[in-house]
A and B are shown apart, each in its own frame.
Chain A
């Protein structure tokens, strides 16, 4: 079996999440990679060990990853492949379901575990349950959650590159512009790192002590319901049951006791750090790394450690 993996790129490099998708795809068969962008992207893809061939989409529509030409291209290429795979992300979620429809296939998004060529595990209800599904489609279209597969190395491979173009079709959509998020805080629900504060921050003024740490880490700032209720920060900071559900790579809970309402909103984070002066706080039961300390002492120490050389 051969698997087609759609790789996503940023600033000429293949995103790490896409390299995780390569790892996932290698469990299913040989891997061919499909990339858009300029020649440097195709060259980067060719260096990923395990990629046997790189297909480089060179038409104008594909340049901006527009769904219409890219889905048509994937559908046109799919005949040679048993599976089409990509890392869960905005591009794949935009394009792959459209391609699946063209192939008369029901896509399988957000796979966290591949059981065999037909069977996959994926979260439903925002991670409240895990469903094992078996597909009866001849061809499978799936996206995988990057956090559940180790990324393939960026270097070491040497695959051949072949140019491909989307089939001729009327131009339905046009790229207008892209506005990259500025250096300001990332959005809470899509940030790679989240720093959250709880009642332990004591007041609105102290809550701002999280800013320097978040700045250093490029992190979004969240809060527990207790902190929101106490008026330290507005509602839209809230992580948990009635607030946002986040699953960043790193979640740092500062002065948060860990009420189940809060845990429900962040327990799928890859790595959880808890800083609390109460060693009995429930947050430590889910934290990968716990630091029992007065947060007002710990915060500047962490900043200092971050500033020091590795």
Chain B
């Protein structure tokens, strides 16, 4: 069974993004970039499937600028077998990403695509679902547990107020939530070995995909600062206000 894992290069989760003074976006020049944390979980899950003998090959894919190679190298160091970079300078939206991945699925014929549930830059939480829609494959989103057996994937999903389990016919799409696993480190020996693993570079045009964005970013602004409210006199006053004024309890 072949597993495809798309990974995205994003501003490292430790960095507080800074809105550019001219309001055109968030500063990325000289900012540390890393693999999207949810994608690390997806890679880890795919590698574990391989270690269990369920998957035979793990292929990592990224769509983005040349430096996304570094992100793919991390995936290779974590245990992916080979990598594909779809090189583009356009900031591709989930719809464009899903179309690109659909074309790659046609080329690679994986039985399973595992994605992070969302990227921590645009917070869209859409690519996996959209890819599933385009492929007419079943989807198991926000997975906290994944079992593969008898041509089906059993996925435990984190839903509002509980955990839902669904059974999907393969091929299928799974998106990873935080509790699916704790990703391993890309260790130094594995990073060294990853330098020798194959990496292929393609252009969106090679795949016949149009990735023109549908959304225009008009402006990006800092959220308004929160203002201090009032001081209450007593615990009873506080509870009364939470009940009557704020209506949150």
Direct contact of A and B (CB under 8 A): yes
Which residues of A are interface residues toward B (Cβ below 8 A)?
8, 10, 64, 66-68, 71, 89-91, 93-102, 104-110, 119, 123-137, 169, 172-181, 190, 193, 217, 241-242, 249-250, 264, 267-268, 270-273, 279, 284-293, 298, 301-302, 304-306, 310
Chain A's nearest CB lies how many Å from the CB of B115?
12
Taking CB atoms, residues of chain A closer than 8 Å to B124 are: 97, 107, 109
Which of these, A132, A241, A290, contacts B229 with CB under 8 Å?
A290
* Contact between A106 and B229, CB atoms less than 8 A apart: no
A102 to B129, CA, bound (A): 10
Taking CB atoms, residues of chain B closer than 8 Å to A132 are: 217-221
Known contacts: A97-B130, A267-B226. The answer to whether A106 contacts B95 by CB under 8 A is yes
A126 to B219, CA, bound (A): 17
Which of these, B169, B228, B246, contacts A285 with CB under 8 Å?
B228
Give 22 A-B contacts (CB < 8 Å), ordered by A residue: A68-B139, A90-B160, A91-B159, A96-B129, A97-B130, A98-B130, A100-B95, A106-B94, A109-B124, A124-B121, A124-B220, A125-B11, A128-B223, A129-B221, A175-B164, A176-B166, A179-B163, A250-B242, A270-B248, A272-B229, A289-B242, A291-B235
Known contacts: A177-B165, A179-B163. The answer to whether A135 contacts B214 by CB under 8 A is yes
Taking CB atoms, residues of chain A closer than 8 Å to B221 are: 129-130, 132
* Contact between B142 and A94, CB atoms less than 8 A apart: yes
Chain A's nearest CB lies how many Å from the CB of B202?
22
Which of these, A125, A134, A286, contacts B17 with CB under 8 Å?
A125
Which residues of B are interface residues toward A (Cβ below 8 A)?
11, 14, 16-17, 19, 26, 93-95, 98, 120-127, 129-134, 136-142, 154, 157-169, 172, 213-223, 226, 228-232, 234-236, 238-243, 246, 248-249
A137 to B213, CA, bound (A): 10
* Contact between B167 and A90, CB atoms less than 8 A apart: no
Taking CB atoms, residues of chain B closer than 8 Å to A90 are: 142, 157-160
Taking CB atoms, residues of chain B closer than 8 Å to A304 are: 235
* Contact between B94 and A173, CB atoms less than 8 A apart: no
A287 to B242, CA, bound (A): 13
Taking CB atoms, residues of chain B closer than 8 Å to A10 are: 160-161
A75 to B11, CA, bound (A): 34
A271 to B127, CA, bound (A): 32
With both beta carbons as reference points, the residue of chain B lying nearest to A178 in the complex is identified as B164
Chain B's nearest CB lies how many Å from the CB of A164?
19
With both beta carbons as reference points, the residue of chain B lying nearest to A122 in the complex is identified as B123
* Contact between B167 and A173, CB atoms less than 8 A apart: yes
Which of these, A91, A97, A190, A193, contacts B133 with CB under 8 Å?
A97
Taking CB atoms, residues of chain A closer than 8 Å to B248 are: 193, 249-250, 270-271
Known contacts: A66-B166, A101-B130, A109-B125. The answer to whether A298 contacts B231 by CB under 8 A is no
Known contacts: A180-B161, A298-B235. The answer to whether A137 contacts B214 by CB under 8 A is yes
Taking CB atoms, residues of chain A closer than 8 Å to B240 are: 305
Chain A's nearest CB lies how many Å from the CB of B121?
6
* Contact between A289 and B241, CB atoms less than 8 A apart: yes
A287 to B234, CA, bound (A): 15
Which of these, B16, B134, B141, B223, contacts A67 with CB under 8 Å?
B141
Taking CB atoms, residues of chain A closer than 8 Å to B123 are: 109-110, 123-126
* Contact between A109 and B126, CB atoms less than 8 A apart: yes
A128 to B159, CA, bound (A): 25
A12 to B223, CA, bound (A): 37
Taking CB atoms, residues of chain B closer than 8 Å to A290 are: 228-232
With both beta carbons as reference points, the residue of chain A lying nearest to B222 in the complex is identified as A129
Chain B's nearest CB lies how many Å from the CB of A173?
4
Taking CB atoms, residues of chain B closer than 8 Å to A110 are: 123
Known A94-B142, A106-B215, A173-B166; further 5 A-B contacts with Cβ < 8 A: A129-B26, A172-B169, A174-B168, A176-B166, A290-B230
